[in-house]
Structure 1
């Protein structure tokens, strides 16, 4: 029992602090399309992401990440033009954001590096519309990097997104906002943790 307690304490102290998004984080969309009768998927991705999460004790007390939606790229320049102009209107709404609403409790296993699944809630702002959402996240700590991945179903009409379909390309009425975020430790120690603990719980996509 003493050894287990010591291990948990060491794991906890190793992750406490503020973590920031790494340059290889990815956010993007995935939609089902039918092009001239052939079913396919439209996929766009970007790594233009900024954000952070704060761990105090055994909780994620704050987290945020913001995405530069103007940088989304797919395998089709025609699709990219439609996404940037008509569909997501990135001139007027250049970023998307997710904000965590409540702390996330971390299990001893998660602190020690095991896969961690959690259902959490927050607010998502997309194309100028902000809504409360619930989502399932999968996270793990590996090689001093926290990886968080998940997806959010986006029903286009709920977010004032016009029908993406054009001429011979038919798109279903919803898609996925997908993310794989990697965080590296930026700030640790008593001063960092004390400063972070005084923040309101909020996080950004």
Structure 2
């Protein structure tokens, strides 16, 4: 009798362990693929916020030369790939707390910069946000990320309202107290009373003294992107 009970107990134990293993594997898969919201699409000029292409607006007849500042409708943040309990996911965090300025002469942006308030960046996870502000970015000590042009950006020509042009930007990106030279493609779109600029800056975390998180079933890739969509108004 005792031997029979032990055999039954072992079978139930093995079955229980197997069930837990299945739940641990299937649970994250089901949640990530069927329950969790998909990450927002990359920022682009297709985003309607901050856009006004109606030719009747007060600034439509003006040129683009002069001083500009980052206005409402602007946003910036990060996009990075994660492995969450064995499942591949994309983490996205954003903020609208972005400031900056730009100086245009002819068809070239001759100087400019923008600054992102990192402490205000939010994703779809409070836990991720706490890690981002704390052990990852230490926003108490390094509250901002800044990009500043070091070479003029030549757009070739001033686009008509609603049209887009592309160019290459080169400058210095400062994150986590470290500064590196970066180059990337950006797109600009003329609006009725200003223009918008969109781009994505690749970031290798080690270049900025940032350790990619790897804890509690969450591992983050060594590289990510800083996305931005800036709406400029006359300064």
Q: Is TM more than 0.5 here? A: yes
Instruction: Provide closer, same or farther for how the CA distance between residues 102 and 170 of structure 1 changes in structure 2, counting only shifts above 3 A.
Output: same
Please identify which structure carries the higher strand content: 1
Q: Is 1:112 the counterpart of 2:160 in the alignment?
A: yes
Q: Is 1:20 the counterpart of 2:69 in the alignment?
A: yes
Q: Which stretch of structure 1 is more off in the superposition, 11-20 or 147-156?
A: 11-20
Alignment of 1:3-152 (within 5 A): 14-108=63-157, 110-113=158-161, 114-152=163-201
Q: Return structure 1 stretches of 4+ with deviation > 3 angstroms.
A: none
Rounded to whole Å, the distance in 1 between the matches of 2:227 and 2:84 is: 22
Aligned residues: 175
- Structure 2, unaligned runs of 5 or more: 1-59
Larger-Rg structure:
2
Counterpart residue number, 1:178: 227
- For the Cα contact (< 8 Å) 2:180–2:207, is it kept in 1? no
Question: Scaled by the length of structure 1, what TM-score is found?
Answer: 0.80
Rounded to whole Å, the distance in 1 between the matches of 2:187 and 2:154 is: 13
After superposition, the CA RMSD in angstroms is: 1.6
- For the Cα contact (< 8 Å) 1:13–1:57, is it kept in 2? no
- Structure 1, unaligned runs of 5 or more: 1-10, 187-205
Which is bigger in relative contact order (C-alpha 8 A, separation at least 6)?
1
Rounded to whole Å, the distance in 2 between the matches of 1:184 and 1:82 is: 34
